[in-house]
Chain A
Amino acid sequence: DGGITQSPKYLFRKEGQNVTLSCEQNLNHDAMYWYRQDPGQGLRLIYYSQIVNDFQKGDIAEGYSVSREKKESFPLTVTSAQKNPTAFYLCASSITSGNTGELFFGEGSRLTVL
Protein backbone atom coordinates (compact mmCIF):
# COMPACT_ATOMS: atom_id res chain seq x y z
CA ASP A 1 0.00 0.00 0.00
CA GLY A 2 1.20 3.51 -0.75
CA GLY A 3 1.74 5.86 2.12
CA ILE A 4 4.04 7.51 4.58
CA THR A 5 5.87 5.56 7.25
CA GLN A 6 7.24 7.26 10.31
CA SER A 7 9.45 5.58 12.88
CA PRO A 8 9.75 5.17 15.72
CA LYS A 9 6.20 5.70 16.93
CA TYR A 10 7.42 6.50 20.44
CA LEU A 11 10.84 7.75 21.44
CA PHE A 12 12.35 8.73 24.75
CA ARG A 13 15.43 10.84 24.98
CA LYS A 14 17.62 12.23 27.69
CA GLU A 15 18.41 15.92 27.72
CA GLY A 16 21.46 16.74 25.62
CA GLN A 17 20.98 13.91 23.15
CA ASN A 18 20.26 14.25 19.46
CA VAL A 19 17.59 12.00 18.01
CA THR A 20 16.60 11.29 14.41
CA LEU A 21 13.03 10.62 13.32
CA SER A 22 12.57 8.64 10.14
CA CYS A 23 10.08 9.45 7.38
CA GLU A 24 9.72 7.33 4.23
CA GLN A 25 7.14 7.69 1.46
CA ASN A 26 6.35 5.47 -1.50
CA LEU A 27 3.87 7.83 -3.13
CA ASN A 28 6.47 9.24 -5.53
CA HIS A 29 5.71 12.71 -4.18
CA ASP A 30 8.14 15.55 -4.82
CA ALA A 31 7.48 17.56 -1.67
CA MET A 32 7.89 16.50 1.93
CA TYR A 33 7.24 18.31 5.20
CA TRP A 34 7.82 18.08 8.92
CA TYR A 35 5.28 19.51 11.34
CA ARG A 36 5.27 19.69 15.10
CA GLN A 37 1.98 19.31 16.97
CA ASP A 38 1.46 20.66 20.50
CA PRO A 39 -1.89 20.85 22.31
CA GLY A 40 -3.75 24.06 21.47
CA GLN A 41 -1.16 25.21 18.93
CA GLY A 42 -2.15 23.32 15.83
CA LEU A 43 0.51 22.08 13.44
CA ARG A 44 3.60 24.22 13.01
CA LEU A 45 5.95 23.76 10.06
CA ILE A 46 9.54 22.86 10.92
CA TYR A 47 11.14 22.19 7.52
CA TYR A 48 9.99 21.36 4.03
CA SER A 49 11.60 20.08 0.88
CA GLN A 50 10.34 20.64 -2.63
CA ILE A 51 12.95 18.51 -4.37
CA VAL A 52 15.82 16.18 -3.63
CA ASN A 53 18.92 17.86 -2.15
CA ASP A 54 16.99 21.02 -1.34
CA PHE A 55 15.01 22.10 1.73
CA GLN A 56 13.75 25.27 3.40
CA LYS A 57 13.18 26.34 6.96
CA GLY A 58 9.64 26.57 8.18
CA ASP A 59 8.33 28.67 11.03
CA ILE A 60 10.08 26.85 13.90
CA ALA A 61 13.31 25.42 12.44
CA GLU A 62 15.62 26.34 15.33
CA GLY A 63 17.07 23.25 17.00
CA TYR A 64 16.15 20.95 14.12
CA SER A 65 17.96 19.70 11.02
CA VAL A 66 16.91 17.70 7.96
CA SER A 67 18.34 16.08 4.86
CA ARG A 68 16.80 15.05 1.55
CA GLU A 69 19.26 12.75 -0.18
CA LYS A 70 16.58 10.53 -1.68
CA LYS A 71 13.13 11.40 -3.00
CA GLU A 72 11.42 8.95 -0.69
CA SER A 73 13.23 9.86 2.54
CA PHE A 74 13.18 13.01 4.70
CA PRO A 75 14.65 12.36 8.17
CA LEU A 76 14.39 14.95 10.94
CA THR A 77 17.05 15.34 13.61
CA VAL A 78 16.01 16.95 16.88
CA THR A 79 19.20 18.38 18.28
CA SER A 80 20.15 19.20 21.85
CA ALA A 81 19.71 22.87 20.90
CA GLN A 82 15.94 22.43 20.73
CA LYS A 83 14.81 23.80 24.06
CA ASN A 84 11.44 22.10 24.32
CA PRO A 85 11.51 18.99 22.11
CA THR A 86 8.75 16.97 23.76
CA ALA A 87 6.00 16.90 21.12
CA PHE A 88 4.19 14.90 18.47
CA TYR A 89 6.02 15.09 15.14
CA LEU A 90 4.23 14.60 11.85
CA CYS A 91 5.76 14.01 8.44
CA ALA A 92 3.76 14.72 5.29
CA SER A 93 4.15 14.69 1.55
CA SER A 94 2.40 16.18 -1.45
CA ILE A 95 2.61 15.66 -5.19
CA THR A 96 4.18 19.08 -5.69
CA SER A 97 5.07 21.93 -3.43
CA GLY A 98 2.41 24.29 -4.71
CA ASN A 99 -1.00 24.47 -3.15
CA THR A 100 -2.48 22.09 -5.64
CA GLY A 101 -4.04 19.97 -2.98
CA GLU A 102 -3.66 17.32 -0.43
CA LEU A 103 -1.00 16.70 2.15
CA PHE A 104 -0.65 13.05 3.09
CA PHE A 105 0.45 12.53 6.67
CA GLY A 106 2.18 9.71 8.45
CA GLU A 107 0.95 8.45 11.81
CA GLY A 108 3.44 10.53 13.74
CA SER A 109 6.28 10.06 16.18
CA ARG A 110 5.86 11.04 19.82
CA LEU A 111 9.10 12.27 21.37
CA THR A 112 9.45 12.60 25.12
CA VAL A 113 12.49 14.14 26.74
CA LEU A 114 13.17 12.74 30.18
Chain B
Amino acid sequence: QQQVKQSPQSLIVQKGGISIINCAYENTAFDYFPWYQQFPGKGPALLIAIRPDVSEKKEGRFTISFNKSAKQFSLHIMDSQPGDSATYFCAASSAGTGKLIFGQGTTLQVKP
Protein backbone atom coordinates (compact mmCIF):
# COMPACT_ATOMS: atom_id res chain seq x y z
CA GLN B 1 0.00 0.00 0.00
CA GLN B 2 3.04 2.22 0.35
CA GLN B 3 4.13 1.74 -3.24
CA VAL B 4 4.10 4.26 -6.01
CA LYS B 5 4.10 2.62 -9.43
CA GLN B 6 5.60 4.56 -12.32
CA SER B 7 5.48 3.95 -16.05
CA PRO B 8 6.98 3.75 -18.58
CA GLN B 9 10.47 2.73 -17.49
CA SER B 10 11.94 4.51 -20.50
CA LEU B 11 10.65 6.95 -23.07
CA ILE B 12 11.98 8.34 -26.34
CA VAL B 13 10.40 11.50 -27.74
CA GLN B 14 11.23 13.71 -30.69
CA LYS B 15 12.15 17.32 -30.06
CA GLY B 16 9.00 19.41 -29.82
CA GLY B 17 6.84 16.45 -28.84
CA ILE B 18 4.94 15.78 -25.62
CA SER B 19 6.42 13.50 -22.98
CA ILE B 20 3.98 11.80 -20.61
CA ILE B 21 4.92 9.85 -17.51
CA ASN B 22 2.32 8.20 -15.31
CA CYS B 23 2.20 7.21 -11.64
CA ALA B 24 -0.34 5.34 -9.54
CA TYR B 25 -0.66 4.93 -5.80
CA GLU B 26 -2.78 2.98 -3.33
CA ASN B 27 -2.47 4.82 -0.04
CA THR B 28 -5.31 7.32 0.19
CA ALA B 29 -3.49 9.09 3.03
CA PHE B 30 -0.93 10.46 0.56
CA ASP B 31 -1.43 14.19 0.19
CA TYR B 32 1.70 15.50 -1.48
CA PHE B 33 2.88 14.46 -4.92
CA PRO B 34 6.18 15.86 -6.23
CA TRP B 35 8.15 15.10 -9.36
CA TYR B 36 11.94 15.06 -9.29
CA GLN B 37 14.35 15.38 -12.21
CA GLN B 38 17.78 13.75 -12.15
CA PHE B 39 20.64 14.23 -14.59
CA PRO B 40 23.37 11.58 -14.85
CA GLY B 41 25.79 11.64 -11.93
CA LYS B 42 23.73 14.19 -10.02
CA GLY B 43 21.19 14.09 -7.24
CA PRO B 44 17.50 14.56 -8.02
CA ALA B 45 16.02 18.05 -7.86
CA LEU B 46 12.41 19.06 -7.33
CA LEU B 47 10.70 19.88 -10.61
CA ILE B 48 7.06 20.45 -9.70
CA ALA B 49 4.63 19.29 -7.01
CA ILE B 50 0.89 19.10 -6.41
CA ARG B 51 -1.51 18.55 -3.55
CA PRO B 52 -4.83 16.74 -4.09
CA ASP B 53 -7.01 19.80 -3.70
CA VAL B 54 -6.30 20.71 -7.34
CA SER B 55 -6.51 18.61 -10.49
CA GLU B 56 -3.75 20.31 -12.44
CA LYS B 57 -0.68 22.42 -11.88
CA LYS B 58 1.39 24.02 -14.60
CA GLU B 59 4.85 25.54 -14.43
CA GLY B 60 6.22 26.56 -17.79
CA ARG B 61 6.36 23.49 -20.06
CA PHE B 62 5.73 21.10 -17.17
CA THR B 63 2.22 20.12 -16.03
CA ILE B 64 1.02 17.70 -13.37
CA SER B 65 -2.42 16.20 -13.88
CA PHE B 66 -3.99 14.65 -10.81
CA ASN B 67 -6.93 12.23 -10.66
CA LYS B 68 -7.85 11.64 -7.03
CA SER B 69 -10.61 9.11 -7.69
CA ALA B 70 -8.33 6.97 -9.88
CA LYS B 71 -5.36 7.51 -7.53
CA GLN B 72 -3.21 8.48 -10.47
CA PHE B 73 -1.08 11.46 -11.42
CA SER B 74 1.02 12.23 -14.44
CA LEU B 75 3.72 14.58 -15.68
CA HIS B 76 3.37 16.18 -19.09
CA ILE B 77 6.36 17.89 -20.69
CA MET B 78 5.24 20.06 -23.58
CA ASP B 79 7.57 21.00 -26.44
CA SER B 80 10.15 18.52 -25.15
CA GLN B 81 13.79 19.58 -25.63
CA PRO B 82 17.05 17.60 -25.69
CA GLY B 83 17.95 19.33 -22.41
CA ASP B 84 14.97 17.60 -20.81
CA SER B 85 16.71 14.24 -21.27
CA ALA B 86 16.98 12.94 -17.72
CA THR B 87 15.47 10.47 -15.28
CA TYR B 88 12.17 11.52 -13.74
CA PHE B 89 10.80 10.25 -10.46
CA CYS B 90 7.31 10.66 -9.12
CA ALA B 91 6.84 10.49 -5.36
CA ALA B 92 4.22 10.68 -2.66
CA SER B 93 4.01 11.29 1.06
CA SER B 94 1.45 11.83 3.77
CA ALA B 95 1.37 14.49 6.44
CA GLY B 96 3.72 14.04 9.35
CA THR B 97 5.32 10.80 8.23
CA GLY B 98 8.57 12.34 7.12
CA LYS B 99 8.83 9.75 4.40
CA LEU B 100 8.75 10.38 0.67
CA ILE B 101 8.00 7.24 -1.35
CA PHE B 102 9.47 7.28 -4.85
CA GLY B 103 8.39 5.59 -8.03
CA GLN B 104 10.78 3.43 -10.04
CA GLY B 105 11.87 6.24 -12.35
CA THR B 106 11.52 6.96 -16.07
CA THR B 107 14.49 7.63 -18.29
CA LEU B 108 13.52 10.18 -20.91
CA GLN B 109 15.50 10.73 -24.08
CA VAL B 110 14.53 13.63 -26.32
CA LYS B 111 15.96 13.24 -29.81
CA PRO B 112 16.97 16.39 -31.71
Residue in A closest to B98 when the chains form the complex, CB atoms? A97
Name the A residues within 8 Å of B34 (CB-CB): 102
Q: Once A and B bind, how many residue pairs between them come within 8 Å at the CB atom?
A: 67
Residue in B closest to A50 when the chains form the complex, CB atoms? B98
For residue A92, CB closer than 8 A to chain B, the reply is yes
Interface size on A, residues (CB 8 A): 27
Whether the pair B42, A107 counts as a contact (CB closer than 8 A) is yes
Name the A residues within 8 Å of B6 (CB-CB): 42
Whether the pair B89, A43 counts as a contact (CB closer than 8 A) is yes
Whether the pair B44, A43 counts as a contact (CB closer than 8 A) is yes
Interface size class of B (residues with CB under 8 A): 20 to 34
The 0/1 profile, CB within 8 Å of A marked 1, for residues 42-85 of chain B is 11111001000000000000000000000000000000000000
For residue A2, CB closer than 8 A to chain B, the reply is no
Q: A residues bordering B, Cβ < 8 Å? A: 4, 31, 33, 35, 40-45, 48, 50, 56, 58-59, 90, 92, 97-99, 101-103, 105-108
**Which 9 A/B pairs are nearest by Cβ-Cβ distance?**
A105-B43, A97-B98, A99-B93, A99-B32, A43-B102, A42-B102, A42-B104, A102-B46, A42-B105
A-B contact pairs, 26 of them (CB 8 A): A4-B43, A35-B102, A40-B104, A40-B105, A41-B104, A42-B89, A43-B44, A43-B105, A45-B99, A50-B98, A56-B98, A59-B2, A97-B96, A98-B97, A99-B32, A99-B93, A102-B34, A102-B49, A103-B44, A103-B46, A103-B100, A105-B43, A105-B45, A107-B41, A108-B42, A108-B43
Q: B residues bordering A, Cβ < 8 Å? A: 2, 4, 6, 9, 31-32, 34, 36, 41-46, 49, 89, 93-105
